[in-house]
Structure 1
Amino acid sequence: MTDDSAPWPTELRVSQDKKTLTIAFNNGERHDLSAEYLRVCSPSAEVKGHNPSQKQTVPGKRNVEIMKIEPVGNYAVRIHFDDMHNSGIFSWTYFFELANEPEKHWGVYLQELEQKGLSRDL
């Protein structure tokens, strides 16, 4: 179920190099989200876990690419990445959160990498 008052995408466009997803929202906002950011913040059980204690920090995704996007009903899409990850369902609400709260996601991810001695590179 989605909040009808929440912004929703009017356009999703993968860049020619497959490294960026541009999202335009019905409120006029437009955001470029890197494939790496989307991959490491995937809402899948593999990344998020089934509860906060199961959350995984996924290293080595600096060069990941978006291979395909497929609709899931009228509320989300599934992104297929070139590392074969495709189990995350990205809702419109989650896209909007990723676009507008990068420190909550990207900043925490970078801190986790550092704390665990991991790298964005393979």
Structure 2
Amino acid sequence: MAGDPEADRFSTKAWPVEIRHKKSEKRLEIDFDDGAKFSYPAEYLRVESPSAEVQGHTPSQKKLISGRRHVGIMKMEPVGNYAVRIEFDDMHDTGIFSWKYLYELGVDYEARWQAYLNELDTKGLSRDP
């Protein structure tokens, strides 16, 4: 249905052409077909996981995830042709990262990361376990 936010959640304008899991660096790198290239720290992906466990069901329900500085990616598996499920070494594995969401995470990295750090500081929490 046009304009349906649920349907729009997985629609994408840019498709990944190369995905690299840099296990020792705890990073995921994605090159998109529009020329955009992003390098995501595993910690960033973990704290921004699209799972209901992290995001809740409304923006006001989003949970602040602390203590994940050293988290890594154990494995990834494709979900259809629109997403990837990432399993982190803290056993979180319920987030389905659409290409659209990964692209947004790349574009918005600086602002999202700073907002995360600010919220940790405000609440007296740490990136360390």
What TM-score, normalized to structure 2? 0.88
Q: Any stretches of 5+ residues in structure 1 without a counterpart?
A: none
Equivalent of residue 15 in structure 2, options 8, 18, 33? 8
Contact 2:54–2:63 (8 Å) recurs in 1: yes
2:33 aligned with 1:26? yes
Q: Which amino acid letter does the alignment assign opposite residue 13 of structure 1?
A: R
| 2:60 maps to which of 53, 62, 73 | 53
Which residue matches 2:74? Answer: 67
Whether the aligned pair in 2 keeps the contact of 1:113 and 1:119 (CA below 8 Å) is yes
Aligned-pair distance for 1:34? Answer: 0.4
Task: Give the whole-Å Cα distance in 2 for the aligned partners of 1:80 and 1:3.
Answer: 22
Q: Is the 8 A contact 1:18 1:67 kept in 2?
A: no
Moved more, 10-19 or 76-85: 10-19
Structure 2 SS opposite 1:93: helix
Question: Residue 27 of structure 1: CA displacement?
Answer: 0.9
Alpha-carbon offset, residue 18 of structure 1: 5.4
Partners of 2:49 and 2:23 in 1: how far apart? Answer: 21
Q: Name the SS of the counterpart of 1:42 in structure 2.
A: coil
- Separation (CA, whole Å) in 2 of partners of 1:40 and 1:18: 17
| Matching residue's letter, 2:84 | V
Per-residue CA shift, 1:74-109, capped at 9, x if unaligned? 100000000000101100011110111113421211
Residue identity matched to 1:77: V
Runs of 4+ in 1 over 3 A off after TM superposition: 1-4
SS of the equivalent of 2:66 reads coil
Shift of residue 50 of structure 1? 0.9
Which of 86, 90, 95 is the aligned partner of 2:97? 90
- Partners of 1:18 and 1:66 within 8 A in 2: no
Question: Which sections of structure 2, spanning at least 5 residues, go unmatched?
Answer: 1-6
Pick from 90, 94, 110 the counterpart of residue 103 of structure 1.
Answer: 110
Alpha-carbon distance in 2 for matches of 1:38, 1:32: 10
Q: Secondary structure of the residue that 1:39 maps to in structure 2?
A: helix
